[in-house]
Chains A and B, each alone.
Chain A
Amino acid sequence: MGTSDRLERIRERANVTDRDADEPTVLAAVVLAISLLLLSPIAWVLLEASEMQAGRLIELVASETTTTVTVNTLILVVAVTALSVLIGVPLALLTVQTDLPFKRFWTVTAALPLVVPSYIGAFAFVSAFGPRGELADLLSPLGIQQIPTIYGLTGTALVLTLFTYPYVFLTTRASLISFDGTVVEAARSLNASRWDAFKRVTLPQILPGIAAGALLVALYTLSDFGTPAIMRYDVFTRMIFVEEQARNLDAAAVLSLLLLVLAMAILAVESRIGAGRDGAYVSSGDRRAGEIKLGYWKLPAMGFCALIAALCLALPIGILGLWLVRSADATQAGFVFELQHVTNSVTLAAAAAGLCVVVALPIAYLSARGDGTLSSLPERVSYVGYAVPGVVIGLSLIYLALRFVPFLYQSLFVLVFAYVVRFLPQAVGTTESSVLQVDPSYIEAARSLGYGPITSFRKVVLPLVAPGIAAGAALVFLTTMKELPATLMLRPIGFETIVTYIWLVRGAAYQGQAAVPALILVGVSGLSMLIILRQEG
Chain B
Amino acid sequence: MTNDTSGSSRRRFLALGGATAAGALAGCAGLFSNENNQAGVSLSDFRGSGPLVESRGQPDGTSIADLPDLEGSLTVYLGGGEGGLYVELLDLFEQAYDNFSVNHRLDSSSSLANTIIEENAAGATEADLFMSVDAGSLGAVANAGATQSLPSEALNAVPGSFQDGDGRWVGFAGRARAIPYNTDQLSPSDIPNTVSEFPNTAALEGTMGWAPSYGAFQSFITAMRLNKSDEAARSWLSEMQNHGITEYGNEFAVSNSVADGELAAGFANHYYSLRVTSARKNAPLDLYFTEGDAGALVNVSGLEILSGSEKSELAGNFVRHVLSSEAQEFFATRTFAYPMISGVKPVGDLPRVDDLNPPDIDLTELADVSGTVDLMRDVGVL
Contacts and interface: CB of A to CB of B under 8 A. Distances in A.
Contacts of A132: 256, 260
Interface residues of A, number: 50
Nearest to A500: B106
B242 interface: no
Contacts of A58: none
- Top 3 nearest A-B pairs by Cβ distance? A507-B81, A508-B84, A402-B122
Interface in A502-528: 503-509
Contacts of A391: 111
Contacts of A505: 84
B114 A238 contact: no
B124 interface: yes
Interface of B: 49-50, 75, 80-85, 87-88, 91, 103-108, 110-111, 113-115, 118-119, 121-122, 124, 126-127, 140, 213, 215, 218, 247-249, 252, 256, 260, 262, 275, 369-370, 372-374, 377-378, 380, 382
Contacts of A238: 213
Nearest to B107: A488
Contact of A131 (B124, B218, B262): B262
Contacts of A340: none
A427 B46 CA distance: 49
A504 B91 contact: no
Nearest to B248: A232
B84 A335 contact: yes
7 contacts: A65-B380, A247-B110, A334-B87, A335-B88, A395-B114, A402-B121, A489-B115
B369 A247 contact: yes
Given A242-B213, A402-B118, A493-B104, A247 B260 contact: no
Contacts of A308: none
B377 A63 contact: yes
B124 A406 contact: yes
Contact of A507 (B84, B119, B126, B262): B84
Contact of A59 (B83, B127, B262, B374): B374
A246 B110 contact: yes
Interface of A: 56, 59-60, 63-65, 131-132, 229-230, 232, 238-239, 241-249, 251, 331, 333-335, 391, 394-395, 398-399, 402-403, 406, 409-410, 488-489, 491, 493-494, 500, 503-509
B105 A59 contact: no
A493 B125 CA distance: 13
B295 to A, nearest CB: 21
Given A232-B249, A243-B373, A246-B369, A493 B108 contact: no
Given A334-B91, A488-B107, A493-B75, 19 more contacts: A131-B262, A232-B247, A241-B213, A245-B110, A245-B215, A246-B110, A247-B140, A403-B122, A406-B122, A489-B107, A489-B115, A493-B103, A493-B104, A494-B105, A500-B106, A505-B84, A507-B81, A507-B84, A508-B81
Contacts of B81: 503, 506-508
Contacts of A410: 126
Contacts of B213: 238, 241-242
Contacts, number: 119
Nearest to B83: A507
Contact of B118 (A241, A399, A494, A507): A399
Nearest to A410: B126
Nearest to A403: B122
A508 B85 contact: yes
B209 to A, nearest CB: 12
Nearest to B76: A493
A141 B380 CA distance: 40
Q: Which of B83, B103, B377 has the most CB of A within 10 A?
A: B377
B286 to A, nearest CB: 20
Contact of A245 (B88, B108, B380): B108
A241 B114 CA distance: 13
Contacts of A403: 122
A250 to B, nearest CB: 9
B84 A504 contact: yes
B107 to A, nearest CB: 5
A399 B118 CA distance: 7
A247 B218 contact: no
Contacts of B50: 331
Given A132-B260, A493-B126, A507-B81, A65 B111 contact: no
Q: Which of B49, B91, B122, B260 has the most CB of A within 10 A?
A: B122
Contact of B382 (A59, A65, A229, A399): A65
Contacts of B256: 132
Nearest to B222: A246
A333 B372 CA distance: 35
A242 B49 contact: no
Contacts of A399: 118
Given A131-B262, A245-B215, A334-B91, A402 B82 contact: no
A248 B249 CA distance: 20
Given A494-B103, A505-B84, A507-B83, A242 B260 contact: no
Contact of A247 (B80, B91, B113, B252): B113
B51 to A, nearest CB: 12
A244 B113 CA distance: 11
Contacts of A331: 49-50
Given A232-B249, A402-B118, A248 B370 contact: yes
A488 B84 contact: no
Contacts of A500: 106
B262 A493 contact: no
Nearest to A242: B213
B310 to A, nearest CB: 16
A203 to B, nearest CB: 41
B82 A507 contact: yes
Nearest to A391: B111
B256 to A, nearest CB: 8
A402 B119 contact: yes
A59 B380 CA distance: 12
A64 B88 CA distance: 43
Contacts of B369: 245-248
B268 to A, nearest CB: 14
A251 B370 CA distance: 10
A402 B275 CA distance: 40
Given A238-B213, A246-B373, A402-B122, A131 B260 contact: yes
Nearest to B275: A509
A249 B113 CA distance: 12
